[in-house]
Structure 1
Amino acid sequence: MTRFLIKMAVNGIIVVASLWWFANASWTSSILAALGLTVIAYLIGDQLILRATNNVTATIADAVIAAIYLWAVARWLDWPLSFGELIITVALLGVAELAYHRFLGIYDHNRIQKEPGK
């Protein structure tokens, strides 16, 4: 649960700020969009892809998921989110995801090393 909450905070800060700034989206719709993205990216990117592959692959997958999701939500809600603004948001998310996945790897490695009998 802690991993999801960390991802939600990181994604939330970036997505809410980007949508509010670039698309003039309301706080409520920005927060809901960020929460939806976080759930999808966590389930697909972190629980499936990251466990089966590596950090770079999972980060790219998260960026692609974010781009498709944010593009679809922007069109559905008629937000004036340009392609450039979408790319900036996705790039920021990609950098944050890379750091987040790296943090998880270091945390897991350190936790395994501290277990008794290791």
Structure 2
Amino acid sequence: MSKFLIKVLFNGIILVPFLIWFTEAGWLSSIVTSIGLSIIAYLIGDQLILRKTNNVVATIADAVLAAVYLWVVAAYMDWSLSFGELLFTVIVLGVVEFVFHRYLGVLDKDMKQHP
């Protein structure tokens, strides 16, 4: 399974239920929001920042990106996402991102050892 699809799956498992639980979002808008965040975070956090820095910096960048993205989407969609709910969601996403980045590091190491 491609790295991007794994990221979309993990983000979706967390973000879709949280958005439905914390906001007035429906299934479709939650899924679209999750996919949008996954695309942006993969391109910026995983392909740019993680390659140039380390896991901790990339995880923090992904968490900040997720917070800003979710705050903007919630404001645009007029969802009632409180700061505490946003912070909780971003922390959980950050933990998953940290694990995902570690997984990417293991994959890259394996690819270099066994071409």
Q: TM-score, normalised by structure 2?
A: 0.96
Report matched runs for 1:16-31 at 5 Å: 16-31=16-31
SS across alignment from 2:79: coil
Partner of 1:37: 37
Which residue of the partner structure matches residue 103 of structure 2? Answer: 103
Residue deviations 1:37-73, cap 9 Å, x none?
0111011101110011111100000000000000000
Q: Give 2:60's aligned residue.
A: 60
Q: Report whether the alignment pairs 1:10 with 2:43.
A: no
After superposition, give the CA deviation of every residue in 1:63-99 in whole Å (9 maximum; x if it has no partner).
0000000000001000011000000100000000000
- The runs of 5 or more residues in structure 1 that have no matched partner are none
- Secondary structure of residue in 1 paired with 2:101: helix
Question: Residue 84 of structure 1 aligns with which residue?
Answer: 84
Match of 1:57, SS state, is helix
Distance 2:5 2:41 in 1: 13
How much does 1:112 deviate? 1.6
Unaligned runs of 5+ in 2: none
TM-superposed deviation, 1:24: 2.7
Query: What amino acid maps onto 2:66 in structure 1?
Result: A
Q: How many residue pairs were aligned?
A: 115
Cα distance in structure 2, aligned partners of 1:55 and 1:26: 33
Report % sequence identity. Answer: 61
Which stretches of structure 1, 4 residues or more, deviate above 6 A after TM superposition? none
Larger Rg computed on CA atoms: 1
1:113 aligns with 2:83: no
State the TM-score, normalized to the length of structure 1.
0.94
